[in-house]
Structure formats: structure tokens, C-alpha cells
Structure 1
């Protein structure tokens, strides 16, 4: 079947979808006697024991039927198949998109640069596993023959946000399950206060540093590397005995005696999609052990396989994507809030901000032509219940309706709790998330307008027993694939990020002393 790349507004199914604006009243659907049946019905199994529930979304059988037609007309699953079989999907940079291959092989072997890419990624994972085991066993030690106890990742953007979120998500689980090996810390911001704070709280002599830069030329990362090397030298330590690199084989960091070891990635994996590559693999394997990282990859692979299902009602990432496009382009909602009711996922929304907004924040299509409909929404979020005491006021009673995506778990990671006023903390957490879903959907009438809630605020919930490596991998892949499917629908290239580049170039102009006009005037405000 030939693949056709069309703008969303050219698809007949989308035109039908536009006639279904405000087709569903959540107040009626969830507030009446049949509400419980709807909650039970609108459930889709995900990988690794997760479930996606969309009962509080503004959809019904009619809307779902048109969304199914839209997925078929837009050839969404076929485009996904093209992607994992090695088609040049990243049209902006004329590259394949292969992050799914870091956790398994869905289709045929993909050959590039003269090698089998699946075997290449598998080999790098194995090399990282062997290195981590040598560090843990004491075969690789510091200059005094002592074990390393801390790993510090130096990177920015996708080299920081995803790996940091994944580490924090599994830290308590690993400690409770006896797989915690090393503390992990992260340096990302070029602001010297970031590196200073991390280094001052770190035992340098027992720390191994991971420099992550695919090109080996990222300004912020190399600046922080120099900051770290300076600190090591001042402590009387040889940086070459404390640093490894995750980079491409063609970068200046590869095959370099300044590093204990180098692990490789390539141009077919974008930074925001790199948590399942060596970018996340090195730090997670050192922190928790290679088996935990392998389980994380297995969870992601389960979700990738589900994403190849053609029926959206059995494909949670595809269904989530379709409903999101309905909300963005038909309901005209500007934002989406991601609300994990789990402290383990405290930095997960920050990762999703980059994943979603850097991928689909585009105003031209795959061919460089202007598009005249909204694309990616603004993504934000905080863990519950903290967010309830922050921005939920606007979510409940503000003038914009903002769709919500809750993430919740029946059990905590630490296996530690206390009973207060007849219930545990975990039960109180779960009670809050279920109450919020209903409060947003059904609202509350009150004679006092200040205390009235209109309801009709749509949400979904992704839930499981607890955050484990497999669950986390499946959750990550769900959002990666959701973003991919939405990019296909909007006909944008979700795999480049030209919007990141202009500011970088102007910063170099400022630092070179060549700034003029208003740019120079702004630099003078900060004493440059």
C-alpha cells in the first residue's frame, strides 16, 4: 500500500469529526445511573499491566467510530510500520527514526551505515551492562583502588530530562527491592550554580561522570564538562580516570584517552527519544544494575508492539493520540495537563514537555508548507496532590478548558505507609485522584457563582499496581508513540527541532562580541 502524507484538514474523516464538536456531556454520561458502566467499558489494556481509561473524555460511540476512520484514512499504523522498518521519516534531516530498535525489533532488519542497527543497539546495551557490572564488582575502581559510589550525568535537553525522570521514578523501587547500586546526580544547566551545587554535595573521589553529547560539541555540556574537570583536578584527581562518554562514533569524544570508556548512539535517535538508548542506559545500569534497565526496555517493547494494532480501541497510544487531536482541533482546547499521582514521577511531566512540544510544536508540514490548523498543545504538570494546591483552581474554574491526563498507582514503591484517621496515605492519594476526575467531569451547582463548578472538563487516567521498571518503560513508550501518531495526523515532522537552533546561534554571536543593534543593547543589560 502506498503511503500518502496529507494535511489533517484534507482528510474526509476529519471533516466529519468537526461536525461532532461538543457531542458528549460528561455531566450526563458520568453523573447518571449508567456512569459506572461507562467507566468499566472505556478501558484499554496497555503493556506491563498498565491500563488506559478514557471514560471521562468527551467521546461516545459515534465519535470513536469517526476517530477509527480517521486513523485508517491517515494510515497511522502503516506509517508507524514504515518508521520501524527504516523509512526516512525525519524529512527535515533526511534520517530514519529508530529509537524503537533500542528495545526490540518489530519488523524487518534495518541496515544503515553498513551495519544492522538492531544488532548495533543490542551490542551497545551489552557493553554498558558489562561496564556497569565491572564497576559494581570492583573490577573498575578509582585511583586508590576504591569502588565508585556515585554516578553523575552531564547533559542537557534529552540527555538530562528523560534519564533524570527515569532515575527518580525508580530510585525508591530499587531501594525497596535490593537493586540500588549507586546514587545518581545530574548536571544540565549552563548556569554555574547548577554544577557548583551538585559538585559540592558529591564525593568526587568516588564518583564516575557520564558526559552525554551525540555530536561532542554541545556548548552547555562541554562547558559543564570543563567545570567538572576543573573540580576533579583541584581535588588532585585525574579526570580521565573518572569520566565516560555517551556519544556518536564520529564525535571527538569517541576513541578518546580522556575517557575510561565511550558508548555509542547515532543520528537516528533524537535526544528526547533517547532514554532507552545508551543515554539512559549508562546511568540507569550504573544506578540500578543492567537487569533493571533490561526490564525497563522490555516494558517499552510491550507497548511498541501494542502500538502496531490497527484497531484504535485496542491500541492505547493510538487512541490517546486520536482523542488528543479531537480535543485540540475540534474542541479547540489549547493545553494538556499531565498529573501523576506518584512522587516517583515528579519529573515525568518535565520530560513530556520536551517530548511533546519539541516534537509537535510546528507550523509547517513535512514538506515545509504552512499549515492553518493548531498542532501540538502546551504540556505542563506536577505530581498530585501538590498540584491541587497550586494550579487546579484554574483547571476547575478558569476560562480555558484544559484536558487532563492522570497517572495513578494502587500501591506505593517504598512499601512503607501509616494509617491516619482510618486510611493509609496511599489510600488518601488514590481517593484524591478519583475525586478529581469526577469533580472535573461533573462539577457542582451552587447558588453562589464563586462556588459553582461547570464541569465538562475532560480527563483520562493511566493506572497500574505500582511503578516498576517494566511499567515505567511501557509508560514512556506510550507517550512517545502517542506523540508520533499525533505528528502523523498533523502531517508535521516530529523528529527534528529547528526551533531550538536559532537562539543557540544568536548566543554564539553575543559571545563572539559581534552583536549589534537591539541584540547588543540586550547584552549590555546583563553586563556582557
Structure 2
């Protein structure tokens, strides 16, 4: 499928020529009610405060059709190469379910691969929760600590904080989760000092197995465990790729695998988020998390921009940046539980 700049499409010229919306004069109760799109799981996307009107929405539809945006999304779902810089597929959605034609690479059905890793993490979490896997001193684990950087930290941390209070209220909070990502050893020291190391399980997350910041924090953690008279090999698991140096390393209780087709900031649906969230809550809670995400993936196949919140939000963002000239976007959490969500997005 061909990719061309927006300014090569006459539909974009038409959009740019439309009159600007004076929001103060049009923001009425009727507009607030009408400019809303129902979403799965009881959510709604309200865009009444965006500077769009019916003419601009019509123009969005024509531009979307001309660009073939929903068709391109369907191609992504079926495994066509979307990361043109690295020549890779983009498959984070496949960790949540299959909406395309299926994706097979080198004889491996990648949907099955992601699902097998989810089930493996679920089985492991169940054994930890039942006390079948213990620390080196024979005590059950009560804390889980993720060691990672970038997407290996931001998404899982944001998801854990968003769901923590819900899990406690529902009686599904099983282990307290902590995160170590800062290369400043004082940050890791503050976290480790608050833990009962005998009852703490650590997850090392590095796709390549060579991420220097993550390995430096792993070394710090191992030294603290050894100083406490504990065997790190009985307190650590790894999330990595099958080709990394960590893949067959015996110094971990278990290893869970990811691949090159799920980017860091999109990896929470994979083992990067699945292991820590299954341990912190319950495996079924992580499954529900994936089901919810999958329902949003499905909703994004709608061709009508007035009914497709993901598509409309993207078009509004494009319009605000490329037509209205807005240079930045503010993401303002409405609850403390979402306090780490902006960091995940940026």
C-alpha cells in the first residue's frame, strides 16, 4: 500500500480551507450530548470541546476514505509490515486477540505464541499464589518488583497503579508491585529498603537481554539479595526474547518470552505486563484487561468517523497540529490512579 504526505491529497486542502470553529459560541448542552461516541465496557469519547463541526467531520470522513485509514489498520491486524524503518510487523494487538487473517512467521503462529506465554505466566502466578514456589529462605512471596526501563516500566507501572484500588476492593490484589527503572542507585535503594527481601520476587525485563541500565539494576538487586543471605536464582524471573543471552540462563526461576514485533510502549499486553499484573492481581484479571483492550481494537474497525472514537481522536489530533497549529497536547488524568498514564504516553 502506498504512503503519501497529507499535502498531496486534495481532501486535505479542502479540510484546511474550512472556516474555523468558535468554540465559545457553539459549546451548548446539545453539542455536549451529541458529540459523544459510545465505547466498549461502558466508556464514552466526548469531543464536544474540540474545534470541529459537521462540515469538518464530513471532511474528516472524506480524508479518511481517501487515505484508506481503516483498510491500513486492517492490514496491520493481518501482519503487513507497518514499521517501514525496520521492516517489521506491528503486533501488540495480537497479544489481545486475533482480528485479522492470522499471522505466521517462520512457521510460528504468533497469536498462539503470545497466548502460550500468557498461559505460562498465569500458571506460574498460580503456583506463586498457592505457595508452591518459594524464596530461597522457604518463605512465600508477598511482593513483586519489575526491573526495566522505558516501555518495560512505564506501561506496566501505569496499569498496576490504575487497577490497584479496584483489585483491593474486589479482593483480587495478591501481591504488592514495585518498579525499579531509574539508573540512579539511590532510587533502587529506596525501593529495596522498604521490602522484605525474603518475600520479594523480581522480574527482569529486557527484550535484547543486553539493556545496560536494566542489567545494572539487576546487579544491584542481586548484591542486596546476597548481602541478606539469599540466593538470587530463587528470587528472579526474566522476560526476554528467545534469542537473548537471558533465554537459557539458569539463574532465573522461569523465563517468559516476547518478540521483535511488539514495541516497548505497546508491550503491556505481552509478557512484559502480563507477568507482573498476573502476579500482583490474578491471572483472570489480566485476561479481563486483554479482553477490554481487544474490544477497543475491534471498535477501531468501524469506517464511520462519527462512530469510531480511535479514528476520530487521531483525525482531531492531526487537525489540531497540522491545520490549527497547536504545538502540544496536554493529557490530564482525572484520577490519581491514572497519574502515571501521561508518562506512558509521552
- Band the TM-score falls in, shorter-chain normalisation: over 0.9
Q: Is the 2:306–2:312 Cα contact (8 Å) retained in structure 1?
A: yes
Question: In structure 1, what is the equivalent of residue 11 of structure 2?
Answer: 13
Question: In structure 1, what is the equivalent of residue 178 of structure 2?
Answer: 185
Of residues 104, 108, 112, the one that matches 2:97 is: 104
Deviation at 1:280, TM superposition (A): 0.4
Following superposition of structure 1 onto structure 2, how do residues 21-100 of structure 1 map, counting pairs within 5 Å? 23-30=20-27, 35-100=28-93
- In the superposition, the TM-score normalised over structure 1's length comes to 0.65
Q: Which has the larger radius of gyration?
A: 1
Of residues 206, 216, 221, the one that matches 2:214 is: 221
Distance 2:247 2:321 in 1: 43
Q: Secondary structure at the match of 2:268?
A: coil
Question: In structure 1, what is the equivalent of residue 311 of structure 2?
Answer: 318
Following superposition of structure 1 onto structure 2, how do residues 220-299 of structure 1 map, counting pairs within 5 Å? 220-299=213-292
**Corresponding residue pairs, total:** 346
Distance 2:138 2:185 in 1: 31
Distance 1:115 1:75 in 2: 30
Runs of at least 4 residues off by over 4 Å:
none
Cα offsets for 1:22-61 (capped at 9, x unmatched): x21111101xxxx111111111011211100111111111
Q: Secondary structure at the match of 1:224?
A: helix
Q: Secondary structure at the match of 2:90?
A: coil
Cα offsets for 1:172-194 (capped at 9, x unmatched): 11111100000000000111111
Cα offsets for 1:341-391 (capped at 9, x unmatched): 1111010111011xxxxxxxxxxxxxxxxxxxxxxxxxxxxxxxxxxxxxx
Cα offsets for 1:376-414 (capped at 9, x unmatched): xxxxxxxxxxxxxxxxxxxxxxxxxxxxxxxxxxxxxxx
Q: Secondary structure at the match of 2:326?
A: coil
Question: In structure 2, what is the equivalent of residue 521 of structure 1?
Answer: none
- In the superposition, the TM-score normalised over structure 2's length comes to 0.99
Of residues 297, 304, 320, the one that matches 2:297 is: 304
Of residues 139, 144, 147, the one that matches 1:146 is: 139
Distance 1:335 1:208 in 2: 40
Question: In structure 2, what is the equivalent of residue 515 of structure 1?
Answer: none
Structure 2 unmatched runs, 5+: none
Cα offsets for 1:115-139 (capped at 9, x unmatched): 1000000000000000000000011
